[in-house]
Amino acid sequence: MQTKATPPKVVLLDLRKRQAKETNYETGKVLCSMCTKPHIVAKKAHELFFESNLGDPRLFQETAQLEREVIAQLGNLLHQKSATGFIVSGGTEANMLALLTARNASNISSPEVVLPDSAHFSLQKACNLLNLKPVIASLDESYIVKPLEVEKLVNKNTIAIVGTAGTSELGTIDPIHKLSEIAVQHKVHLHVDAAFGGLIIPFLKTTYPFDFQLQGVSSMTVDPHKMGMSVIPGGGILFRNSEMLQYIKTETPYISAKSQYTFVGTRSGASIASVWAVFKTLGKAGFTEIVEQCVKNTGLLVKELKKYSLSLLCQPTLNIVSFRSNKNTNRLSETLWRKGWFVSYIPRYDCIRIIIMPHVKKKHVLKFIEVVKEIEML
Amino acid sequence: MQTKATPPKVVLLDLRKRQAKETNYETGKVLCSMCTKPHIVAKKAHELFFESNLGDPRLFQETAQLEREVIAQLGNLLHQKSATGFIVSGGTEANMLALLTARNASNISSPEVVLPDSAHFSLQKACNLLNLKPVIASLDESYIVKPLEVEKLVNKNTIAIVGTAGTSELGTIDPIHKLSEIAVQHKVHLHVDAAFGGLIIPFLKTTYPFDFQLQGVSSMTVDPHKMGMSVIPGGGILFRNSEMLQYIKTETPYISAKSQYTFVGTRSGASIASVWAVFKTLGKAGFTEIVEQCVKNTGLLVKELKKYSLSLLCQPTLNIVSFRSNKNTNRLSETLWRKGWFVSYIPRYDCIRIIIMPHVKKKHVLKFIEVVKEIEML
């Protein structure tokens, strides 16, 4: 740390210069992110509740009330009005809390979790933390987990099964209804990681059963800071009922509220106000409109890629498109980066992944196709 | 979620009404919080880097650079220029990452951690997550851990010792120099939880050895969102050297940066810009001034409490004061809450705890004493 103080004006001028060089969603060139430019009300709500800390909900009761309302709205959306939960730091914390609940509810010395091969890496991270053995179930040719294989992998040590509703790599939806049947039959916790899909799937024209209306679903991750257009950090964890909370309870001996259920202690109240504001502003109607636009632009990208014979890995379920170059996909990805188009390259599928978030407009899709054509000499 | 959209104006009007009822640091009546009103540059920096996500440092390179600079400043302040680390969600994540590093670096089937009886509850939380057995070392009459007892508790299963520099309950500083000697001798990881004290102790007139200048210290928690006057979430974890990072590395197969070390994936870049802005603006000179003011007001509170024969638990080391009523301390605490003075009641010491954060001014201390006198009929 430098010894002397610096005038705030000088500090902010320096920061503004750096910010001007920083990546910006509005260029439409960020095609690799599950986050997007937050909704304008999210930003304003954040500014209003800037100082609020849900590490102490007795001290910040208005914010605590906003959280209860947000969780009720998510519960309503995901078909379990009495669901309980929290706005947390992100999908990693949400997924970890789900596995922690399952682990602590069981009394198994060598606990295992059945994960689809496509499960998010945060679940491996959580298994490492929690000393759980991840057991990997393979995918079918549509890149969704094989329920028969999941069932085979369930044994007396299994504390949870995970299914993904909107995988991070390809946007596929596992057969959650079949996983639910397995969970019910074997009396095992089914966690649905809908960090990305949870605020998309309910607004699609096609119906996918993926939430608490399936009896076997015990917990769900759904992140407002992804398609919920809220600010970072804004993850979401929902549990089917409040009895499950006992397994993640921590006593908080010097805080006015006597216990805590999240992993994080001091917790941004501003994030919660942001989620509340976006949900109120958009409602189901607003979300449906945004999702429809993303799906439409996804369709446009697919059509264009097919026109130039660039092969798709699979027909998109959500607003994620994965394709391969006719030559060298990794090289195409690196060339796109150099030209300022930020795409993901996924080694294990040797494909480029594009996420059509709300900041990616029709004009950006068309421009992107032009750039790809130029690089690929199509 | 409601079906229809709501005009943003209506949503924000509702939120403004709720915010007006929310607890506000500027009243000077929040005496139970280790957070404070963020510095004005923290807020402005946050607004500038609002969209930035360090879940992908290759995408947000300017923000990644800000983080490197902040960590270098912390390393410089805490006497280890080559320290490595991250701005994380808070002290809980920081403490957990430290214990995870120690656990994964060892190869012990029944790992134990020696915790002072005064260690923060997040360390118990981390032990629960990580399947570590917490072994509790008792405190001496000054409420600091007994080094001889710590040494006795170290055995072949010990993966870490923890010391606190600024306990959450009483603001005491464990004898870190002695814990360091034990750590060196027994070749065990010493983690210093300086979540609160890390941005106070370096600016005090009295010197307390507590950081990397002590050879045995392997990692430190130091939270900018506490006395660093930055925004939530803004925790900090520092490791003595970058080799330790291998133990918390997660592969991130579809993100342009190939690995990740924090628990949280998607990570607020705005938080990092905030910390950067406060550090630059204040420098050591600015922090010293703020800390001196807090210490002075702490002294004033102590003097006034003594004047009215309210007994102190211990002479404050930092800006935390703990005292008892001459009658019923818990009842005094509840009466203060009803009158809008937010204090902590700590059951195990049967005391009221007051934290003199920067938002608590001389006039608030004097007013508080008046209120206590009135309730206690002194």
Contact B15 A56 (CB under 8 A): no
Number of separate helices (H) and strands (E) present in chain B: 10, 13
The alpha carbon of residue A37 is apart from the nearest alpha carbon of chain B, in Å, by 6
The alpha carbon of residue A129 is apart from the nearest alpha carbon of chain B, in Å, by 5
Write the residue in A12, A65, A281 that is nearest to B44 by C-beta.
A12
| Token reading at A97 | 């809390």
pLDDT (tens, 9 = 90+) of chain A, 378 residues, equals 999 999 999 999 999 999 999 999 999 999 999 999 999 999 999 999 999 999 999 999 999 999 999 999 999 999 999 999 999 999 999 999 999 999 999 989 999 999 999 999 999 999 999 999 999 999 999 999 999 999 999 999 999 999 999 999 999 999 999 999 999 999 999 999 999 999 999 999 999 999 999 999 999 999 999 999 999 999 999 999 999 999 999 988 877 778 999 999 999 999 999 999 999 999 999 999 999 999 999 999 999 999 999 999 999 999 999 999 999 999 999 999 999 999 999 999 999 999 999 999 999 999 999 999 999 998
Contact A35 B53 (CB under 8 A): yes
Which chain A residues are Cβ-neighbours of B346 within 8 angstroms? 253-254
Instruction: State the maximum Cα–Cα separation within chain B, in Å, rounded to a whole number.
Output: 66
CA nearest B79 in A: which residue? A1
Question: Does residue A12 lie in a domain region?
Answer: no
- CA angle, B236 then B238 then B241, to 5°: 160
DSSP symbol at A5: -
Residue A194 CB coordination number (10 Å) = 30
User: What is residue B256's predicted lDDT score, i.e. its pLDDT?
Assistant: 76
User: What is residue B255's predicted lDDT score, i.e. its pLDDT?
Assistant: 79
Angle between helices A40-48 and B8-21 (to 10 degrees): 10
* Residue B358 and residue B275 share a domain: no
* Residue A324 and residue A244 share a domain: no
Write the residue in A8, A92, A283 that is nearest to B265 by C-beta.
A92
Contact B12 A41 (CB under 8 A): yes
Q: List the CATH number of the domain containing B359.
A: 3.90.1150.10
Angle between helices B269-307 and B40-48 (to 10 degrees): 160
Contact A11 B281 (CB under 8 A): yes
Write the residue in B11, B40, B59 that is nearest to A33 by C-beta.
B59
The alpha carbon of residue A105 is apart from the nearest alpha carbon of chain B, in Å, by 13
Q: Which of A250, A280, A310 is the last residue of a domain?
A: A280
Question: Does residue B130 lie in a domain region?
Answer: yes
A113 CB contacts (<8 Å, ≥6 apart)?
Answer: A99, A102, A123, A127, A132, A133, A134, A135, A158, A159, A160, A161, A162
* Residue A137 and residue A267 share a domain: yes
| Count of the separate structural domains present in chain B | 2
Preceding omega of B7 cis (within 30 degrees of 0): no
DSSP-derived secondary structure for A288-339 = HHHHHHHHHHHHHHHHHHHHTTPEESS--SSSEEEEE-SS-HHHHHHHHHHT
| Token reading at B137 | 């070392």
Interface mutation vs chain B, best among A19, A169, A222, most B CBs within 10 Å: A19
Report the C-alpha gap between A99 and A108 in whole angstroms. 13
* Residue A258 and residue A175 share a domain: yes
Listed as ranges, residues in chain B with pLDDT below 50 are: none
Locus of tokens 């996983």: A179
Q: Which of B258, B280, B302 is the last residue of a domain?
A: B280
B206 CB contacts (<8 Å, ≥6 apart)?
Answer: none
* Residue A303 and residue A245 share a domain: no
User: What is residue A5's predicted lDDT score, i.e. its pLDDT?
Assistant: 97
| Token reading at A141 | 């040719």
Which chain B residues are Cβ-neighbours of A77 within 8 angstroms? 1
Dihedral over alpha carbons A294, A297, A302, A308 (to 10 degrees):
-150
Contact A5 B48 (CB under 8 A): no
DSSP symbol at A51: T
Which chain B residues are Cβ-neighbours of A90 within 8 angstroms? 55, 264-267
Locus of tokens 């004898």: B175
Report the C-alpha gap between B337 and B32 in whole angstroms. 11
* Residue A111 and residue A72 share a domain: yes
Q: What is the pLDDT of residues B161-172, one digit of tens each?
A: 999 999 999 999
Contact A41 B231 (CB under 8 A): no
* Residue A61 and residue A137 share a domain: yes
CA nearest B103 in A: which residue? A129
Backbone φ and ψ for A221, nearest 5 degrees, come out as -100, 130
Question: Does residue B275 lie in a domain region?
Answer: yes
Backbone φ and ψ for B113, nearest 5 degrees, come out as -125, 130
Report the C-alpha gap between B249 and B253 in whole angstroms. 12
* Residue B95 and residue B241 share a domain: yes
Contact B4 A283 (CB under 8 A): yes
Q: List the CATH number of the domain containing B241.
A: 3.40.640.10
Q: How far from chain centre, in Å, is Cα B67? A: 19
Q: How would you classify residue B264: left for phi > 0, otherwise alpha for psi between -120 and 50, otherwise beta? A: beta
Locus of tokens 């009404």: B17
Question: Does residue B333 lie in a domain region?
Answer: yes
CA nearest B235 in A: which residue? A266
Contact A342 B59 (CB under 8 A): yes
Q: What is the pTM of this model?
A: 0.97
Range of the domain at B316: 27-38+283-376
Question: Does residue B227 lie in a domain region?
Answer: yes
Angle between helices A121-130 and B91-105 (to 10 degrees): 70
* Residue A344 and residue A272 share a domain: no
CA nearest A167 in B: which residue? B254
B193-217 b/e with 16+ CB inside 10 Å = b?
bbbbbbbbbbbbeeebbbbbebebb
Contact A14 B280 (CB under 8 A): yes
* Residue B133 and residue B208 share a domain: yes
The alpha carbon of residue A256 is apart from the nearest alpha carbon of chain B, in Å, by 6
* Residue B31 and residue B49 share a domain: no
> Is the distance from CB of B196 to CB of B168 less than 8 angstroms?
yes
Q: Count of A–B CB contacts within 8 Å?
A: 316
Contact A281 B169 (CB under 8 A): no
Q: Map residue A282 onto helix, strand or coil.
A: helix
Beta pairing, strands A158-164 & A189-193 = parallel
Locus of tokens 């000088």: A10
Q: How would you classify residue B229: left for phi > 0, otherwise alpha for psi between -120 and 50, otherwise beta? A: left
Which chain B residues are Cβ-neighbours of A129 within 8 angstroms? 96, 100, 129-130, 263
Identify the CA nearest to A301 among candidates A316, A291, A287, A286.
Answer: A316
* Residue B188 and residue B215 share a domain: yes
Q: Which of A280, A308, A337 is the last residue of a domain?
A: A280
CA nearest B73 in A: which residue? A1
Q: What is the pLDDT of residues B134-147, one digit of tens each?
A: 999 999 999 999 99
Identify the CA nearest to B31 among candidates B374, B235, B336.
Answer: B336
Question: Does residue B6 lie in a domain region?
Answer: no
Find the radius of gyration of the CA atoms of chain A: 22
A141 CB contacts (<8 Å, ≥6 apart)?
Answer: none
CA nearest A100 in B: which residue? B129
User: What is residue A279's predicted lDDT score, i.e. its pLDDT?
Assistant: 98
Report the C-alpha gap between B234 and B257 in whole angstroms. 22
Question: Does residue B13 lie in a domain region?
Answer: no
A258-278 b/e with 16+ CB inside 10 Å = b?
eebbbbbbbbbbbbbbbbbbb
CA nearest A54 in B: which residue? B232
Paired with A301 in beta bridges are none
Report the C-alpha gap between A111 and A159 in whole angstroms. 6
> Is the distance from CB of B194 to CB of B220 less than 8 angstroms?
yes
Identify the CA nearest to A125 among candidates A89, A178, A84.
Answer: A89
Residue B279 CB coordination number (10 Å) = 27
CA nearest A125 in B: which residue? B250
